[in-house]
Amino acid sequence: MSRLLVIDDEPSIQFSIEQVLAEEDIELFRAETAEQGLRLAAEHMPDVILLDIRLGDRSGLELFRDLRRLDPKSLIIFITGHGTSDTAIEAMKLGAYDYLVKPLDADQLQQVVGQAMAISHMMHVPTIVEEADRPEDRPDRLIGSGAAMQSVCKQIGRVAPQDVNVLILGESGTGKELVARAIYHHSRRSQAPFLAINCAAIPESLLESELFGHERGAFTGADRRRIGKFEQSHGGTLLLDEIGDMAPGTQAKILRLLQEGSFERLGGSEPITANVRVIAATNQNLDALIEQGRFRKDLYYRLRGVTITLPPLRDRTEDIAELAHYFLFRYNRQLGTSVQSISPEALELLERHAWPGNVRELQSVIREALLASAGPTLLPEFLPAELRREAGGEREPDPKPGATVTVEEDWRSLPDFVEDAASRGETDVYRRALERFDRLVIGSVMRRAGGQQNKAAEILGLSRATLRAKLRHLHMAVEKTLAPQEPKT
């Protein structure tokens, strides 16, 4: 029988965990204090430990180290009611197996604990990295307590201490540079320089000089030696943003640098050592570019030591309110405004918008709304006109809340819908077509899954939280085809 130790100072949480795992083949021990938890861990040597990050007598992050010294083979899963990105990153840096946010999802708890139990005897001991102070309100802080962003934070925590190259994929405005800065911030190179260069914003003729530098006389106008970004970031981290736009010749030089660890300035012959961690980012499909002969496959493999894919904002609607309030208070300070809250009606408009520009667009919308606002509350009338038109203009009615998940729209109607909407001069065709497509796909899968969200999320390749958010956004209620179970007596 597997052994599980729960260390949490809330008896209700302990009871809930015990109830959820009651039918599992698990021997469960409970502790409400750090001291009691250490004693039980020493006595029973549990396979898995559920550890609250904030205990009454001691920090869970500190207790983690003592538990790991006591038994390096125990897998530790942090649980907390405060799901900030920094906490998730720090937890994973320490070597935690996983990180769960209260209120605990029963299915997720069963899945994570079950997986941990199954592989506990095979787990390698993670490297322990010392904690560092983190300012809570720095401008590059990652925001989002939803499942999608927590998964990204876990990846950052795992990869940051490892000195490997990282490839960050995501649409424009999803926060690729913020993720790169978070990796740097939590890495062993955090005291060395961090530099970023946008490969798409610099002409091809100048990009090589920006990256590698040049000697005096290397080309017309080169009247003095220039130190490039690789040399400037020696010992630190260099972000190559929008690397998918880089010309083939520059790609070849980057590949050589990654292979040999050295380069020459333009017009020079002296090899220069480059001790630099490279993080590359792009909003393009590199596989497609490779097929088209526009991106080197060998460079792609060199760059993707670890790949982190960022979700678009439309797939993490559960984070929109948190992001909006973060930008609200941030711009209050910058602009000298004093808006204290966002009305529920305004939040609803924000959550219904498709956000093709992602987080960057949301940031711009909040700033614009603050400049237009009057009074302590951000109301719908202060939001940009296009957001209000989406809610108030003529359009097909949305399904009523509570409508069952069925596929009533014919797949073949999508082209006709787009054509008709475009011919009427409508300006939100893309968003509405995406919603219709989502409704068709999710409705089909939910029917196939018998209304079971876990199974449907697995088929769709989404987290359960993301699927729930989409169901709410599309006003799709779920009717399970399974008969309800009789309550236990």
Q: How far is CA 69 from CA 38, 63, 117, 279, 470, in A?
A: 11, 10, 20, 33, 43
Q: What does each of the 489 residues of the chain score in pLDDT, given as a tens digit?
A: 789 999 998 888 999 999 999 888 889 999 999 999 999 999 998 989 999 988 887 888 889 989 988 887 788 999 987 656 677 777 777 778 788 888 888 888 988 898 788 766 443 333 232 333 333 445 457 888 888 888 898 899 999 999 999 999 999 999 999 999 999 999 999 888 899 999 998 888 789 888 998 888 777 777 777 888 998 888 899 999 999 999 999 999 999 999 998 888 888 888 888 899 999 999 999 999 999 999 999 999 999 999 999 999 999 999 999 999 999 999 998 888 888 889 888 999 999 999 999 999 999 999 999 988 867 888 888 888 888 877 654 343 344 444 333 344 445 566 776 777 677 666 667 767 777 787 788 888 888 887 788 888 888 887 776 777 677 666 665 444 333 333 343
SS3 108: helix
Cα 305 to the center of its chain, rounded Å: 18
The architecture CATH gives domain 2-121: 3-Layer(aba) Sandwich (3.40)
Amino acid 473: pLDDT: 66
Query: Cα(122)–Cα(253) distance, rounded to whole angstroms?
Result: 41
Amino acid 402: pLDDT: 42
Residue 52 backbone phi and psi in degrees, to 5: -70, 135
Correct CATH for 160-309 of 1.10.357.10, 3.40.50.300, 1.10.10.10, 3.40.50.880:
3.40.50.300
CATH number of 411-474: 1.10.10.60
Amino acid 173: pLDDT: 93
- Domain segments of the chain: what residues? 2-121, 160-309, 315-390, 411-474
Strand 166-169 relative to strand 277-282, pairing? parallel
The encoded tokens of residue 348 equal 């609803």
Amino acid 457: pLDDT: 82
CATH number of 315-390: 1.10.8.60
In DSSP notation, 240-304 reads EETGGG--HHHHHHHHHHHHHSEE--BT--S-EE---EEEEEESS-HHHHHHTTSS-HHHHHHH-
Query: Cα(480)–Cα(486) distance, rounded to whole angstroms?
Result: 15
Q: How many CB atoms lie within 10 A of CB 156?
A: 25
Would 2-121 and 160-309 be classified into the same CATH topology? yes
